[in-house]
Amino acid sequence: MSAFLTAGPHSIDLRFDAGDTTPVNVDSFSIVWQTRSTVSVTTRHSDNNHTGANLHETRLSPATVSPDSFGHLFSYPVRGQIFAQPLYVGGLEIPGRGIRNVLFVATMHNQVYAFDADNPYQGHFPFWQRSLEPAIKLPDPNIGPTLIDAQKKDTGSAYTAAGRAVYRDIVREVGILSTPVVSRDHNAIYLVTASKDPAKNDPSAYTHHLHALELTTGKELFGGPVVVQANAPGQGYVGRFKEQDPVVNGKIVFTSNRQLQRSAVTLVNDTVYFAFASYGDKDCYHGCVMAYDAKSLAQKAAFVASPTNLAVHNPRDTGRAGIWQAGEGLAADGQGLYMLTGNGGFKDGTDFADCFLKLDPMNL
């Protein structure tokens, strides 16, 4: 049998009927911490409109939120900086631990944690944690802007003459930068890592991976992870300091060390979407959107926002068109994916820099 208890002392009585004469054997007795059901936060800012609104809130009000009754409760240690919004899932059945409310935290060290959201004594003992691909240590001359000398030539150095890092938008390392997304239907959290093979130093050392981790154990699902790769028809462009855009057989090849996966991961109709911009506007990069099947992690579509090498007077007005979203995910309503692009060139029908875009979610 089971019983739900409220806070406070309780007693348990074992009783015999008057005529009982045989022993009673109690095989086991356990108490499982089961917290009340709450509204889950499974994507950045609550929903695919990214409103940040919780319309089912019942406990927070001017009467309950005050300096005396509301504030910091406890903290958990993690390895790596946190840029991604932590996510919260209520009522998960954790093997051997009962039904719990769980906080998911992803860090720039490519670490993922599943913490008890209610028990401050579990800080050093998460339900599970995963160490994924090696994060990219910074500064790195292949990540972000490098030193431009007095002759306007790119030296390829990650440091200034004074020994200061040239690229400082992100420090220490880059790993999981964007906010993951949770699917209760698939019992999975989807996330994208940036990584570098420590045995290499050329551009081939850098990769992005799409993971689907089981919510209750952290194990890989659906044959993951998969390496993020793509190409799309386009001419590419030459950067301000003679950087070369890789083009093979008339298609622009996705280059991980030039692409920053900043915008949050979005899940719509069993499709996982995420977008890319740049590391500090370092050429050559493009605004890209990728679509993957949530059940197989197979790529379904890819979109490049700036495929044409525009013949313009200003060399800044070509390529690029990065999709940053200030960390927000792509907004979605079932009919379209909505996003903003920045930098680069515009040509009606082909190139979409500095635009508000709506993409067909089926084929981008």
Q: Where are the domains of the chain?
A: 32-47+74-135+175-227, 228-364
CB of 193 closer than 8 Å to CB of 132: yes
Amino acid at 239: G
Kindly tell me the sign of the dihedral angle through the C-alpha atoms of 53, 59, 61, 65: negative
Cis check: omega of the bond before 141, within 30 degrees of 0: no
Predicted local confidence at residue 28, as pLDDT: 67
Q: Is 27 exposed, middle or buried (0-12, 13-18, 19+ CB in 10 A)?
A: exposed
CB of 257 closer than 8 Å to CB of 331: no
Comparing C-alpha atoms, which of 278, 200, 275 is closest to residue 240? Answer: 278
How are strands ordered across the β-sheet holding 251-253?
A: 231-233, 251-253, 247-248
CB of 48 closer than 8 Å to CB of 188: no
Predicted local confidence at residue 346, as pLDDT: 87
Cα separation, 238 vs 156, in Å, equals 16
Cis check: omega of the bond before 355, within 30 degrees of 0: no
Kindly tell me the sign of the dihedral angle through the C-alpha atoms of 128, 132, 134, 140: negative
Mean pLDDT by 10 residues, the chain (364 residues): 61 72 69 63 94 85 85 92 97 92 97 94 87 97 94 94 94 97 97 96 95 98 97 88 91 95 96 97 95 98 90 70 94 94 89 94 94
Query: String of b and e for 153-181 (b: at least 16 CB within 10 Å)?
Result: ebbeebeeeeeeebbeebeebbbbbbbbb
Site of tokens 């998960």: 92
Cα separation, 132 vs 107, in Å, equals 10
Residues 6 or more apart whose CB falls under 8 angstroms from that of 44 comprise 50, 85, 179, 181, 264, 327, 328, 329
CB of 83 closer than 8 Å to CB of 327: yes
Predicted local confidence at residue 37, as pLDDT: 55
Token couple for 4 = 């739900």
Predicted local confidence at residue 330, as pLDDT: 97
* CATH domain 32-47+74-135+175-227 topology: Thrombin, subunit H (2.40.10)
CB of 184 closer than 8 Å to CB of 41: no
For the chain, helix (H) and strand (E) counts, in that order, are 0, 22
Predicted local confidence at residue 348, as pLDDT: 87
- The pTM of this model reads 0.88
